Structure formats: structure tokens, C-alpha cells
């Protein structure tokens, strides 16, 4: 107790109300759960603390969040944001061997508070209570709603208000586990959709693949008068000039691409349609194609997220990893993207076409291909692709397995044969690093195809699909060329051969049981 009557802790000064307001809590005292940060004791109402869990092994970062926002983790199918109270309340950084996370639910909020260790259950009956006034409106300054004095003032416990602690506004509802389970059980699953996931910074995001016009390797980005805010220049897409935005900047990060000392050689551009025209979004890399149902989109408390308006929810890619699903409709209506796309078309107008040509082009069926590599580049119609995943960590090698199989793995309860095309075609093996697996459908079953990398998503049409007369191709009766059905035009690679997956599988079945080194191909 200070001479002026203030109670002071080592990390926060509380300003008490006038002495006449200081009183004992009524006989029907409240129940609190206490916890510790260093040697300072805090508490929360027991009814808002659902459980305490160990610090998750995997926490997914939230783009451009403040330091106290550790990220998101998956707790039994529920997405929980974690706030590090040490950082939030200004405690010095120190190594704590095993920290804990208190899951706090208060009305429509559900968050995790990272603490050092738990305390005990407290009954406030008979304790002296001191209300506090904040020094300012800063969230952490109003985090302590009152102070309780126990044991004649020898024990002081600071009571936190979970809402004031986070200063949350317009937070979307995060249903309780029971309510969520009931709703999911009753809801119609709807149609499965595919998303393409990509990386920027340390965050993984995804967009519904049906809303992507094209995915391409980043070509030369040209300086332009359109360089402003998040826009870094323009690209030429088959004669059409399109403005390109750095997604990091769009999401609120002020770091500049030119200032990066080691730009990624794998940078990709996602072409999306806005109400003002086409826009390119520059990302670090393309990760996977993820298949999901609408009811698998998980809601979460969007804490300290600068562009929460364009985040639809989360997807779990398996295990504890979390992917932020972007809302394409929100991107499509974003004022900055619309105005820049319109301005670009004013400066670089698209060549006029007569109505007959436009009508003919509109009537053509859109075809979407995924471009991947194993030694060379190949394309596969995405209608045959279920999803793209990381190379499995656990494989079973069956006895007397075919030489081209890497093994069998479990994909959400379904056993998948993993086919290595390098073994099928007698190509030399390479050191494995970041291999991807394309899950495709054949004859009612699913198989996995090992690839070196996923490179592009190319949209085209029947009129732009080429036949087999490709320069430099091998005779159709030999090796890979036998399994090629045509070619498409990649905006960055030029012609890319299309893999006839049925012919490829026929080759595999023909070679079933052939000993390694004795392939008839």
C-alpha cells in the first residue's frame, strides 16, 4: 500500500475508487479460478473458464497480428485464438518450461489465454474488493476490473474481465461445442468444393478454386503508374495488362517486396475477378488443393486481425494445422481492388472484339488444369483431381507390392495407393524435398500421384486444347508419349502436355507384379 492509498503491483498500477466504495463482497460470494504470471496472481470468473490445456505443439500464425496474439490452434475441431498474457500485460520475457492455455468462453467469445501455471478455486466471500479506474482506454489498462484482498490484505488477486481484456468489437459468434455439434449433425452437408491453398509470410490461406481465374508463376512485373498502396506493378497476360497486388501488403503488412533480401523463386500469382476487372495477387507459394464441405468451414473469434472482413473462416488440412479461408465475395467487392482494376482497364484498354466473337467465346466450356512436375511439366484436368496433399509421413509397404508403388497410406479412413511416376517411367530417383501428392480418381477409386511440385492452375477451353502433334514429342508407342492426350498453353511455360490418366493407369496395371528393374516400358 502506497502513502497515497494506491495499491501497486510490479506490472500494473490500479487506481482505487473512493474509500466509501471499498466494501466486503456479499455473503453469496463469487467463485473464481486463479492463475499466475511470475509471482503475480490473477483470476477469472470460474463460469467463463471451460478447461485448461497444455500449450499446443502447433500454433498457426495470424497475419499481421500484434505480438500478444500467438495464433490459432485446433481444439477438437474448434478454432481457438491464443493471447499470451505475459506479453499483453507487459511482463518481462522469460523461459517457462511448460505453459498452459486457459480456454475462456463468455457469451459469444471463445479465446485461449496463455498462462504460466494454475492457482486454485477462490470463493470471494468475505474478501475486500477494490474497484479500479483505468489510466487510459488502452485494452491492457482496463484488463483488471477489480482487486480482491484476502487474508487481511496479505494476498492480493487481480480479477480480469475477459471482454475488456481483449477490447473486442463486432466479434462473430463462436458456438459452444455442443451447439456446434448439434447444428452440424442437423445441417445438410451440401456439395464438396475444392480450395487452393497458398503461403504468404508465415500464414497459409486458401480460396475456393472455382473463383480463381488462373494461377501462374510470377512473370516479370512491370513498373506502372498504378503502383500505389499494395499494388507493385502490372503483368501482361496474353496481351491483357493486369495490376498485381502483394497479398502481404493488402492484408496490412507494410513490408515492401523490393526491400526483401531473399525473394522466393517460387512466387506465384493468383488471378481473380473483381467487380472492376481482373487482379493479380502475388503470394509466396502454392501449397495444396484441399477438398471440403461447407460445414467444415470453422468459425473463430477474429482477434486483432487487420483484414478480418475478407476471412470467411478456417479449414483444417489434417492434424492440427489450420488454413485461413478467404471470402472471395468480399475480395470481389473490395473498393481498392475494384478501383485499381477499373483504372488499369482505362489506361490499358482491352482490344475490342465484335459481338459474334464474344458470344462464341462465352459459349466455350471452361477447362481447368493443374500443372505439376516430375522431371518435366504435365497437366491434369482438375475434374479428375480430388485434392493435393503433402507427401505422407507414414506409409505401409505391402508384401509383393508393385515396383512403382511407394506404399499405401490412410487418407481420412480411405486407403490410398501411392504411385511414383518416376518408377513407372524408369526415371532416376531424386532427393526428396517438399514432394506433393495429387489425389486423383480412376474407376471409382482414388490413387495418389507423387510429384516434385505443384506449379500452376491454368484455365482454358476446348478451342485452346491441342492435339498430339507437339514438336519434339516421342513416338506415341514409347514411354511417356503413349500416355499423353494433348497439350495446353501455359502463360509462363508455353505448351504443357496433358497426362491421360486412364492410359497412365492402364500402363500401371500392365506392369503390376513386374519386378523392379524389369519394367516392360
Binned at pLDDT 50, 70 and 90, residue 304 comes out as: low
Whether 12 contacts 158, CB under 8 Å: yes
Domain ranges in the chain?
A: 7-166, 193-350, 362-510
Question: pLDDT-derived band of residue 278, with 50, 70 and 90 as boundaries?
Answer: very high
The C-alpha atoms of residue 507 and residue 227 are separated, in whole angstroms, by 51
Which range, of 129-138, 141-150, 182-191, 215-224, averages the lowest pLDDT?
182-191
Task: Give the integer Cα–Cα distance in Å for 58 and 101.
Answer: 13
Q: Select the more confidently predicted residue: 481 or 21.
A: 481
Give 513's contacts (C-beta < 8 A, 6+ positions apart): 400, 402
CA distance linking residue 423 with residue 504, whole number of Å:
12
Task: Determine the pLDDT at residue 440.
Answer: 94
Q: Are 171 and 218 in contact (CB under 8 A)?
A: no
Overall fold of domain 362-510: OB fold (Dihydrolipoamide Acetyltransferase, E2P) (2.40.50)
At 245, the pLDDT band (50, 70, 90 cuts) reads very high
Q: What is the mean pLDDT of the chain?
A: 77
Which CATH number does 7-166 carry? 2.40.50.180
> For the chain, what percent of residues have pLDDT higher than 90?
21
Give 195's pLDDT tier (boundaries 50, 70, 90): confident
Range 53-70 average pLDDT: 83
**What pLDDT does residue 356 have?**
43
Residue partners of 268: CB distance under 8 A and separation at least 6: 198, 215, 216, 217, 218, 282, 283, 284, 285, 286, 456
Read off the pLDDT band of 260 (50, 70, 90). low
Exposed / middle / buried, residue 433 (Cβ in 10 Å: 0-12, 13-18, 19+): exposed
CB 204 within 8 A of CB 323: yes
Q: What is the pLDDT of residue 23?
A: 43
Mean pLDDT within 160-166: 73
pLDDT beyond 50 at 169? no
pLDDT-derived band at 334, boundaries 50, 70, 90: very high
Assigned fold of 193-350: OB fold (Dihydrolipoamide Acetyltransferase, E2P) (2.40.50)
pLDDT average, residue stretch 281-298: 85
Is there a shared CATH topology between the 7-166 domain and the 193-350 domain?
yes
Q: What does the pLDDT average to over 414-418? A: 92
Q: Are residues 486 and 465 in contact, defined by beta-carbon separation less than 8 angstroms? A: yes
Backbone angles phi, psi at 509, to 5 degrees: -65, -35
Amino acid at each position: 500500500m502506497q502513502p497515497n492509498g494506491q495499491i501497486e503491483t510490479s506490472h500494473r498500477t490500479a487506481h482505487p475508487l473512493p474509500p466509501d466504495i471499498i466494501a466486503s463482497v456479499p455473503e453469496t460470494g463469487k467463485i473464481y479460478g486463479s492463475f499466475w504470471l511470475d509471482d503475480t496472481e490473477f483470476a477469472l470468473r470460474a463460469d467463463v473458464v471451460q478447461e485448461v490445456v497444455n500449450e499446443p505443439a502447433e500454433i498457426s500464425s495470424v497475419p499481421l497480428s500484434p505480438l500478444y496474439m500467438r495464433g490459432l490452434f485446433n481444439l477438437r475441431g474448434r478454432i481457438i485464438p491464443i493471447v499470451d498474457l505475459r506479453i499483453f500485460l507487459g511482463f518481462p520475457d522469460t523461459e517457462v518450461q511448460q505453459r498452459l492455455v486457459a480456454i475462456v468462453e463468455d457469451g459469444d467469445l471463445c479465446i485461449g489465454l496463455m498462462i504460466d501455471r494454475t492457482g486454485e478455486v477462490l470463493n470471494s466471500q468475505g474478501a475486500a474488493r477494490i474497484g479500479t479506474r483505468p489510466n487510459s482506454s488502452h485494452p491492457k489498462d482496463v484488463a483488471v476490473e477489480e482487486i480482491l484482498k484476502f487474508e487481511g490484505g496479505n494476498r492480493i488477486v487481480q480479477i480480469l474481465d475477459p471482454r475488456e481484456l481483449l477490447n473486442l468489437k463486432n466479434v462473430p459468434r463462436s458456438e459452444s461445442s455442443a451447439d456446434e455439434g448439434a447444428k452440424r449433425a442437423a445441417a445438410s452437408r451440401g456439395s464438396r468444393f475444392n480450395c487452393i491453398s497458398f503461403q504468404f509470410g508465415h500464414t497459409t490461406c486458401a480460396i475456393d478454386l472455382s473463383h480463381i481465374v488462373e494461377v501462374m508463376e510470377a512473370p516479370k512485373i512491370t513498373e506502372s503508374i498504378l503502383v500505389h498502396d499494395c499494388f507493385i506493378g502490372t503483368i501482361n497476360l496474353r496481351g491483357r495488362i493486369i495490376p498485381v497486388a502483394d497479398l502481404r501488403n493488402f492484408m496490412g503488412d507494410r513490408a515492401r517486396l523490393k526491400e526483401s533480401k531473399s525473394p522466393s523463386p517460387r512466387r506465384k500469382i493468383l488471378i481473380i475477378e473483381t467487380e472492376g476487372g481482373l487482379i493479380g495477387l502475388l503470394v509466396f507459394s502454392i501449397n495444396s488443393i484441399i477438398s471440403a464441405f461447407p460445414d467444415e468451414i470453422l468459425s473463430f473469434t477474429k482477434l486483432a486481425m487487420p483484414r478480418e472482413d475478407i476471412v470467411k473462416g478456417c479449414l483444417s488440412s489434417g492434424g492440427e494445422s489450420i488454413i485461413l479461408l478467404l471470402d472471395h465475395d468480399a475480395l470481389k467487392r473490395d473498393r481498392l481492388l475494384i478501383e485499381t482494376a477499373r483504372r488499369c482497364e482505362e489506361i490499358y484498354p482491352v482490344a475490342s472484339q465484335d459481338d459474334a466473337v464474344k458470344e462464341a467465346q462465352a459459349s466455350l466450356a471452361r477447362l481447368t488444369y493443374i500443372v505439376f512436375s516430375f522431371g518435366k511439366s504435365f497437366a491434369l484436368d482438375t475434374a479428375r483431381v480430388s485434392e493435393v496433399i503433402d507427401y505422407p509421413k507414414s506409409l505401409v509397404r505391402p508384401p509383393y507390392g508393385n515396383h512403382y508403388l511407394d506404399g499405401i497410406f490412410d487418407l481420412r479412413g480411405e486407403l490410398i495407393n501411392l504411385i511414383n511416376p518416376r518408377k513407372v517411367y524408369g526415371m532416376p530417383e531424386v532427393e526428396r524435398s517438399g514432394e506433393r501428392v495429387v489425389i486423383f480418381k480412376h474407376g471409382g477409386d482414388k490413387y495418389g500421384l507423387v510429384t516434385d511440385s505443384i506449379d500452376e492452375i491454368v484455365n482454358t477451353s476446348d478451342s485452346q486444347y491441342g492435339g498430339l502433334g507437339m514438336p519434339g514429342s516421342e513416338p506415341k508407342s514409347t514411354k511417356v508419349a503413349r500416355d499423353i492426350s494433348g497439350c495446353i498453353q501455359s502463360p509462363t511455360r508455353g505448351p504443357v502436355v496433358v497426362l491421360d490418366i486412364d492410359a497412365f493407369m492402364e500402363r500401371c496395371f500392365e506392369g503390376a507384379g513386374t519386378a523392379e528393374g524389369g519394367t516392360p516400358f
